[in-house]
Structure 1
Amino acid sequence: MAALEESGAAFLVKLMNEIFGVDIRILDDKEAFDSWYQKMPEYRKKKIDGIKPINDKKLSLGAGIALHRALLANGIKEYEVGIAEHGKPYILGREDIFFNLSHSGNIAVCAISDSEVGVDIEKKRNFSEGLIKKVFDDKEIQDVESIAETKEDRDERYTALWTIKESIMKYYGTGIAMAPASIHVDFGEKVAVKCQAFPEENLNIFFNNYDEIMLTICSKNNNFNKVINFL
């Protein structure tokens, strides 16, 4: 449990750099879905209500549950969420808490930290030639094509690259306003990245693979726990 420190009238949280996850198949049970739905703040309920496909509803609720668990594990029971210019969520009135959400397949996650953070998970996907040329630079394409022995391996490597780029765009809160090809990823013993818009920024990349679900966390912290705390 994170400790609380009083600073004037505000309480600052010493957060763990962790990631919380939910396998939304637990929400197949209607009673479980309804029980968790009732625990959600109004903004999340409205978001869930506005979604038609049932699986997407579960993913949205799963993201809400992951955030709820992340904050509760750090002693935070009451909170309000705001949305920044490019859609990145944040906790209103709190400058000591940072989080980011992502979901894909059957998994929803929340990364929580005491500094800015971006997270992305992706189910392994097929990349068309047109998309490859649009989102990856020449060196990245050369590296993948020279190493990948099968189409499956090729798709896996491109998906991994994409999650890294996406986590960086979400870290900065720019979304697709930042061109993915402007971010270069070098897969060595340690993943290294270079972003044209922020060339001096030193970012740490934490990558993990859960079967066909790939997870990337982007953070300035060098000790982020990349193992998902599942419900």
Structure 2
Amino acid sequence: MRKTKKIKSFLHFKDAKRTLVGEILVRSILGKQLSLKNKDINIYYNAYGKPYIKREGNYFNLSHSGDWVVCAFDSSPVGIDVEIIKLIDLSLVLSFFSTEEAEYVFSIKSQNEQINRFYDLWTLKESYIKAIGRGLSIPLESFSIDLRNYLEIIKMKSLLDNRYYYFKKLFIDENHKLSICTMHPQISNEIVFKKIKEIISLMKENA
């Protein structure tokens, strides 16, 4: 029993650490972009838990998993999702996917490739529901993302607001999947990597 509690506490600590790093990352970049001191950056949350600031044309989104904390900034609503790749029971989790998506995942025999396809779809779908700011109030199986002819950008018309959203998979390492969703058809491949020391240094500049 004690060992279980220790493991849970350790996991919560790691999660809390990633959450803290994420907020520092957001504040440091917003401070630099908007020329604001940290004390003047007020972050709010909508009814579904999506963070935002009350400045038109300044949107951001945050995600963390495994070894990574990632953040996306845009002039329109944006969503980003990173997931560490783990072995999973695909027969259970695919209940969250549409029939077409399930067929895509199982259309290849390799279990490793099935898991890769699952996490591609999962992060893409998560990035969309984070972009529109509704969280898991939107069932993942209620919309479908077609990866069968994926080249670089995916375009999808949302049934919720009748607007087009654009998706892209980005590479960070072999053990994680990263996807982004935005309202702009042009999505950069550029990823800016920052170490914790650099982020803290930026925060100090904006203190």
Query: TM-score if structure 2 supplies the norm length?
Result: 0.78
Are 1:101 and 2:101 an aligned pair? Answer: no
Q: Deviations over 1:91-127 (max 9, x none)?
A: 1x31221111100001111111111111111111334
Asked whether the 8 Å contact 2:80–2:179 carries over to 1, the reply is: yes
AA at the equivalent of 1:94? R
**Given that residues 84 and 177 in structure 2 are in contact (C-alpha distance below 8 angstroms), is that contact kept between their aligned partners in structure 1?**
yes
Are 1:180 and 2:140 matched, yes or no?
yes
Aligned residues: CA RMSD: 2.0
1:170 to 123, 127, 130: 130
Between Structure 1 and Structure 2, which shows a larger proportion of strand residues?
1
Match of 1:69, SS? helix
Deviation at 1:194, TM superposition (A): 5.0
Q: Which residue of 2 aligns with 1:218?
A: 181
User: Is 1:61 aligned to 2:24, yes or no?
Assistant: no
Q: Distance in 2 between matches of 1:196 and 1:75?
A: 33
Please state if 1:112 is matched with 2:78: no
- Regions of 4+ moved over 6 Å: none
Match for 2:41: what amino acid? Y
Residue 27 of structure 1 is matched in structure 2 by none
Distance in 2 (CA, whole Å) between partners of 1:193 and 1:125 is 28
Equivalent position amino acid for 1:222 in 2: P
The SS at the match of 1:184 is coil
Shift of 1:171: 0.8
User: Between Structure 1 and Structure 2, how many residues are aligned?
Assistant: 177
Compared CA separation, residues 177 and 105, structure 1 to 2 (3 A)? same
* Alpha-carbon shift at residue 81 of structure 1 (Å): 0.3
Residue segments in structure 2 that go unaligned for 5+ positions in a row: 1-9, 195-207
**1:230 aligned to 2:190?**
no
Unaligned 5+ segments in structure 1 are 1-50
Offset at residue 131 of structure 1 (A): 1.6
Residue aligning to 1:206: 168
The 1-side partners of 2:163 and 2:86 are apart by: 29
- In the alignment, residue 175 of structure 1 is paired with which amino acid? G
Q: Which has the higher helix share?
A: 2
Report whether the alignment pairs 1:90 with 2:52.
yes
Structure 2 equivalent of residue 138 of structure 1 = 99
Quote the Cα distance in structure 2 between the aligned partners of 1:170 and 1:213: 18
Q: Map of 1:121-160 to 2, 5 A cutoff?
A: 121-128=82-89, 129-132=91-94, 134-147=95-108, 149-160=109-120
Q: For the residues of structure 2 that align with 1:107 and 1:191, how far apart are their CA atoms?
A: 24
Q: CA deviation at 1:61?
A: 1.8
Shift of 1:230: 1.2
Alpha-carbon distance, 1:88 to partner:
0.5
SS of residue matched to 1:228: coil
* In 2, Cα distance between equivalents of 1:113 and 1:136: 28
Per the alignment, do residues 164 and 52 of structure 1 end up closer, same or farther by CA in structure 2, a change over 3 Å counting? closer
Secondary structure at the aligned position of 1:163 is classed as helix
Q: Residues of 1 paired with 2:189 and 2:63: CA distance?
A: 14
